Amino acid sequence: MMMSTDGSGEATYITAPDVNAKRPTWLHNGNEIAFNRGQTSIWAIALDSGRLGPFLSETPAGSPSFVHPCAYPNERAVVVVGFSETANGRAGILYKLTPGAGVPILQLTTFPEVCAGRPGVGPDGEAIVFAGNAGRFAQGANQLWTVKPDGRPARLEQGEPALVQGRAPRWSPDGSWIACTSTRPAPQPDETTRRAIWIVSADGQEAHRLTDHSLNFLHVAWSPDQKRLACGGVGCALALIDLPEYFHAREERKPQ
């Protein structure tokens, strides 16, 4: 649905309820939204015409179920997670989907090297941050990882996994910070452990907690001016957090 940011007026439907649209992401042209249709495929809708259809015109037989799309900032492409069941348990692998490209489905990670979860594309259109776990599916205990198309995935933060736990990461518009939800410092986190909002530097050397665990947020999104975070999740209201100047875009910060 589409609604005014000040809450006025009536919300209007973009897709019909039976489409079962989830996890929307704006495509780079500003006129299309890609989303999960159910838990199996990526679709897109053009806002000017209402045209609705699969993001990829053809998907090879045997392809995994694609979820968690995040758009690239400079091309009509999304990064997604492909889930499948294997002899080593549930596998999560990152793919770049680019309609019309020579390689429309480009694999970015491998399993069991890492079991990948929800990804976020950096503002440079290259670096991907994602939630993941080495060798196993354990969403509640994920850490933050990064990968580029020509590299191997690496953990963003070092240390005991439970103390650097993170999920649903999103880059700041200037690429300096990554916001996420985290159970840290819970010693054995799982899906039931409550989460707080954290901001981690892009080099993994700083980590700052913004909220306590009482609101139990699940997802975050930066405002375009990098001065606020929108936060939400199951069982809690949508909230806005005004960020300290330290986290504002580099050109917005006052000289020391």
**Going residue by residue through the chain (256 aa), what tens digit of pLDDT does each one get?**
888 878 788 988 999 989 999 999 999 999 999 999 988 899 999 999 999 999 998 887 778 889 999 999 999 999 999 998 888 788 999 999 999 999 999 999 999 999 999 999 999 999 999 999 998 888 889 999 999 988 899 999 999 999 999 999 999 999 999 999 999 999 999 989 999 999 999 999 999 999 999 989 999 999 999 999 999 887 777 899 999 999 999 876 555 5
Q: Which one of 3.20.20.120, 3.30.300.30, 2.120.10.30, 3.40.50.1220 gives the CATH number of domain 1-155?
A: 2.120.10.30
Domain residue extents for the chain: 1-155, 159-256
Q: DSSP string of 200-251?
A: EETTSS-EEE-S-SSS---EEEE-TTSSEEEEEETTEEEEEEEPPGGGS-GG
Residue type, 43: W
Could you tell me if 145 and 120 are in contact, meaning their C-beta atoms sit under 8 angstroms apart? no
Burial of 36 (0-12, 13-18, 19+ CB in 10 A): buried
State residue 164 phi and psi, 5-degree precision: -125, 30
